[in-house]
A and B are shown apart, each in its own frame.
Chain A
Amino acid sequence: MTLRLRLILTTLAAGVPALIALWFAGNSIRDASDDDLFNAMVLAHFSPAALDACEAAPPTARVGIPLPALKRGAFHAFGEASELLVFTYDRAGRSSQRDALALPPEALAEVRRGPLGRSVDVMIAGQRHLLLALPRERGPCALALTATPRVGPLGPPPHELLVPLALALLAGLVGIWPVVRRIRSMTLAVRRWDQAAPLGLPRDVGSDELSELSRALTDSAETNRRQHAALVAREKALLEFIENTTHDLATPLTVLQGSLSALAKAHSSDAVRQAMTEAQYLGALLGNLAVSAKFEAAAQVETTLDLRDVVSRVVDRHRAMAQWLGVEIERSIPEEPLLALGDPTFTERALANLVENATRHNVSGGHVAVVLESEGGEFVLRVLDDGPGLTREECERALRWDEPSDAARTRSTVGGLGLAIVARVAQLQKWRFALTPGESGGLVAELRGPVV
């Protein structure tokens, strides 16, 4: 069954009984209103003077109570009559009108029980009439009965209509619930969906619109999953390629550096020093490329680092370069371990870039100091140099890792990829990185972060 047909049938199954019940309810309410109006009209007509006149001269014909134009048609049950006709009776049910209808004994009993001024429904010869007790205990005008039978109400009283209404509502729920359940199940499946896995909806072989939607969602999710898997595989392949390439280059570059170092000891010349500088640069580039690839792949490893070891390794790595450039490099680390959370490769690379810049862009006879200290629950790692330094503008530009400048492509300028990587590492590891001109020239690069 299609969804459209199901919705139509459910609407009919629930709506039609509800409409009928409401129609009956409306009629009942109108009837109740008619009763009140009838009571008011009759009581108004049979004033004490009218009752006295009735007792003095009991009517022999139906009593007509004129209806004001405003009230005509107000008696829905009696049509558009211009007057309301009633029979009058005494308390025993006897009437002075020859054609008066005989009152059933139960009706007399009921009207006597009820309060004055409140009419009761009376069935006479299968037809409904209203019987009202007038405010006179004796005499021929103690009761008044509608001469014209009333039509309605059709159906039971309002309170008895609650049951069919409830049934209509239940029919609606039963009809629509399977649809809601299926829509909810699809919604849950979509919300929980992990791109790397299938959607998790059972294969729906039905023929209605929801089944079509379920199949369309499942197919779309499968396409998405395959594309996602392909993307992940491509990223993994790229990362592996970069790792393998850097790995393959690392050992021959180490051999090259060793040969150059031996050559420098034997023949110290500008050419050899230049070659050593380029080899150092290649090594740094290799490290920076590998780290950049890991940024893209979100391949950060968080572990507890003793920053003293990081400082020692990095400074030792750069002693050779510092020596052949005529720059003095020293480091200061605390006696006790100074622990922080971070990725070892990222952290070393960041510090290496700072030390590399401080050393490479210094002058012969210059100094580089790497100082690691603890301050107020944080570690402070500073790289100070007395080289040419940077202007405040250059410091700010270097800190924007997401806007690689043209300087990144010309390694002769300070900044570029190295400082961008430092800024990115600091951002990833929730550290703070600052570059400020030194008080008496040079540059101070500072990394700060919480200790563990």
Chain B
Amino acid sequence: MYETHYHRASSIQDAVKLRQAAGEGKYLSGGMTLIPTMKQRLAAPTDLVDVRQVPEMKGIGVSGRTVRIGAATTHFEVASSAELAAVCPAISGLASHIGDPHVRHMGTIGGSIANNDPAADYPSAMLALDATIITDRREIAAGDFFTGLFETALEDGELVTAITFEAPAKAGYQKFANPASRYAMTGVFVVRRDNGDVRVAVTGAGSNGVFRHKGMEAALSANWSPDALVNVTVDASDLLSDIHADASYRANLVKVMAKRAMAAA
């Protein structure tokens, strides 16, 4: 790791100020990707602004069907919140299968979505739940937030402070873990709202990161049942190929995981 300066922010305002004052600064919110990258000398921020202890960015609030999760809330806290599980157990289950216990006690939802690893779990949930990403300066719809591999709509210095969404009538998530890293080699989050709207978001498989599968959404809108997916085609041409899985296998997994997410919903 190259030399860096560590700052612990006390508030959102403090965090943004510290980040602005830094040369090549980075927010640190668990560091489950950033720290290993720095240790490999593949990233060299001059300053790290740790937002994990910022009080306004912590905790889960459920008001009726409206859920608000502070960006510095750990995966463990998301996984173990009874309030959240009562309205959206699918996201609790997703969080409970991220990494291992160490990761779940350090990593945060804000860190995960701001990093937008194409194999991360949360982006699929955000997209399928039509969540709103709240930053220090604005609100961004999930559909506009995730723009590519490790790319988001965040501007330089912009800090994710919370996410919010309306709990759906039904939701389910299933992932197929990469045998080595245990990241999602394919993960599918399905959501159905009371008004019949359906969203299907896929992570780990798309060559441009998380995406919605319109074909499956149409099929499930017509018939909310795993069987409705049987005749849906998943086009492999937009999917990732790597040493673990080629696009045709991932296309198969998208369908199988969608079916299993439906069964879990």
- Are A and B bound to each other? no
